[in-house]
Every structure is written in C-alpha cells, then in structure tokens.
Amino acid sequence: MAEFTMELNDDQKQVRDWIHGFAAEVIRPAAAEWDEREETPWPVIQEAAKVGIYSLDFYAQQFFDPTGLGIPVAMEELFWGDAGIALSIVGTGLAAIGVVANGTEEQIGTWIPQMYGTPDDVKVAAFCSSEPDAGSDVGSMRTRAVYDQAKDEWVLNGTKTWATNGGIANVHIVVAVVDPELGTKGHASFIVPPNTPGLSQGQKFKKHGIRASHTAEVVLEDVRVPGSCLLGGKEKLDERLARAHERARAGGGGERVKNAAMATFEASRPAVGAMAVGTARAAYEVALDYAKTRTQFGRPIIDNQGVAFQLADMRTSIDAARLLVWRASWMAVAGKPFTSAEGSMSKLFASEVAKKVTAQAVQILGGNGFTREYPVERMHRDSAIYTIFEGTSEIQRLVIARAISDMPIR
C-alpha cells in the first residue's frame, strides 16, 4: 500500500524556504512603496528573474511536481510577501497557462519563453478574456476573430478589460468569438505577438487593492495575427466547431466542451486559492504578534478570550483553506476529475477566508490596523480581489452547485 503523507519532502521545503526568504527580504520591504506608486515594480520583477523565481524553468519545475504541491506552495509564500507585487511576478503565469491548456507543443516552445524574457530584459504577458459587458457571463463576449483565408490570418476586433499586464505585455493571449452561433463553444484563444499593429492599451485602472499590479483595458482594432497564432491550430478548431454544430442540430447533450477561457481558469483556481491563503496567513501572523505585545489594562490583549478566540478561528480557517487547495492541486496532477468542483471549492473557501481573516486582523490592531503604518490595512484591501477575479465567489458556488446536483442551476 502506498504511503500517505501530508509532509512536504525535502526538495519542497527547500523551495518553500527559498521563496519565503525572497518574499521577506525583497518583496516585503518594497510593498508599501509600490502600493502607493500604483506602478509595475519592474526592479522587483528583475530581482525575481535574477534569482530564478521569475522564469519559465522555475514555474515548469513547480508545475510538474508529481505531488501537485509545487505551485500552491510557491504562490502561498510569494503572496505572504505582498499580493500586489506577487501578482506582478506571477501574472504572466495566467497567459502561460492559457497556452499550455490550449496550445500545441510548438506554440508552447515558441511563445512562453517570450513571455518572460531574460533577467537582463524581463518581459510580461497578459491573458485577455473579460470585457466591459462580459465578465462572469462569458457568453456575452463580443470580441470577434475572423479568418482571412487568402492571407492565412485572423483579424481581431474588440475591447478587453481587467487584463493583468494589459497593454504593457510583450505577448497577449486573447479569447475571441469565432462562431457566434455556438455561444461559449464558439470561442478560441489567440496569441498576439509583440508590437502587433492595432493593439493598444485603453484605460489603466486605479484599484482598491493589488495596486502594484498593472490592470488595464486592451483595445484591438483590426489586429492581424498569423494563422499559426490560433492556439491549438485551425484543424483542431474546425473539428471542435463541427462537433458542437452536430450536437446543436441533435438537440444538445453528449460531450461537454470547455471554452478557451474556462479551460484556463479551471487550471488556475487552486493556485488563486493558494494566493489567498498566503495573504490570510500574513495578516494572521501580524495580528498574532500584535496581540502578544500590545498591552491594555495591564496585560497583553491576547489574554482576552475575545481576541484569542478570533486568532484561533483565523488559524483554523487558514489551515482548512490550505488543505482544500492542496487536495485540488493533488487531484489535478493525479488526473482525478473535479466531480464535485473541488477546484472551485478551494478557490471559493480560500478567497472568503482571506477577506474574513484580514478584516479580523484590522479589528485586532484597532486604530493602528486602520492606518497605513501597519500592513494589515493593505492586506485587507488586497484580499477583496480573490472573491472577484478568475470567477467570483457567486460563480464558484454556481459551479459547485451544478456539479453536486447535476442540474442546470441558474
């Protein structure tokens, strides 16, 4: 019988401690500055590239960890450092996942290295799915991709929004409608190479949290990309669309087809859960240290059950969230299907825990927690994003409810 263990192996512990050291020594000291500046922290990304954290090789090693825990362990430690800077470091990963989930081996080998650049010339990438009228409702997507057979080119038109690294990226991955009759089954993903005419940055958003991460609109005006930039290739797309049309004519049913955006988000949900765990853990640790040193009425405030019990609940919920993330990550690498939407469970629970724990941390620090002199204020602002991006909490509950009931719940 195979041995069951929840203990990280020596290699995983070494990677965890290495990333934790970088987060403590490089990310945390810079966190408040870049939050105030609301700019991409290029010097920190470059430092991450120099030590090997911001690189294709690093993420590949963690992605192919046979236990599935490489990515969640790395995400937790980076986001323990600071969510805004960490998202600037890992934001390229969502675009990379989009290529890995939908692309050919040639596309993976060609484009993912260009997303990261080199330590001396770092690059970033952007995954562009959401639109002004199509966030959770991906079926309302309007960005169109039309094939120009004579030139073997795709022509993209539309506006994307909420794109991490949007407009400043070297490579953009854009989800677009290729067959409007098929709804979400008529979507496909495209690589937009560097300096492609017609792609521009629209509005850059000034955000409540994760302010060191660049978020903007991406405008596509007659953007032409070679046929080879269709992720997966045209033959595969034509086969998929033909099957979808056949099922539609037969009245639906049969094989379920994931659209390009959903395939990317499904693969990344446990990683987002790990990000939330990192932020929650950071806020909990600040609150615990504060409660042990802050005295009122002649004793540390942790001597009061009202504070101590909050901290007990905070730690319990953080550990529970981490276990859900680890389970989903292990299931994914082991090829076990998310029959009960375990990936969504991990993202839902961890993101809600992050919001609650950071709010409790602010409360424990009292007036100090409400000021920018202490990091829990920033952590609380940052935590709000976890219940919104890559599928809101409401969407995660919908996915879970459909999975456990096998009913088309709306």
Give the Cα separation of 380 and 396 in Å (integer).
Answer: 21
Tell me the residue type at 254.
Answer: G
- By CB neighbour count within 10 A (0-12 exposed, 13-18 middle, 19+ buried), where does 405 fall? exposed
Q: Which residues pair with 189 in a beta bridge?
A: 175
CB-based contacts of 30, cutoff 8 Å, min separation 6: 41, 43, 44, 82, 85
Here the contacts of 152-155 (C-beta below 8 Å, separation 24 or greater) are 152/226, 152/227, 153/224, 153/225, 153/226, 153/227, 154/190, 154/224, 154/225, 154/226, 154/227, 154/229, 154/230, 155/222, 155/223, 155/224
CA 129, 80, 28, 119 torsion-angle sign: negative
Going by their DSSP bridges, the two strands 125-128 and 171-177 should be labelled as parallel
Angle between helices 28-37 and 42-51 (to 10 degrees): 150
- Which residues are the active-site residues? 390
Residue-wise over 265-287: b if at least 16 C-beta within 10 A, else e? bbbbbbbbbbbbbbbbbbbbebb
Phi, psi angles (nearest 5°) of residue 133: -115, 15
Q: Which helix (H) or strand (E) holds 350?
A: helix 342-365
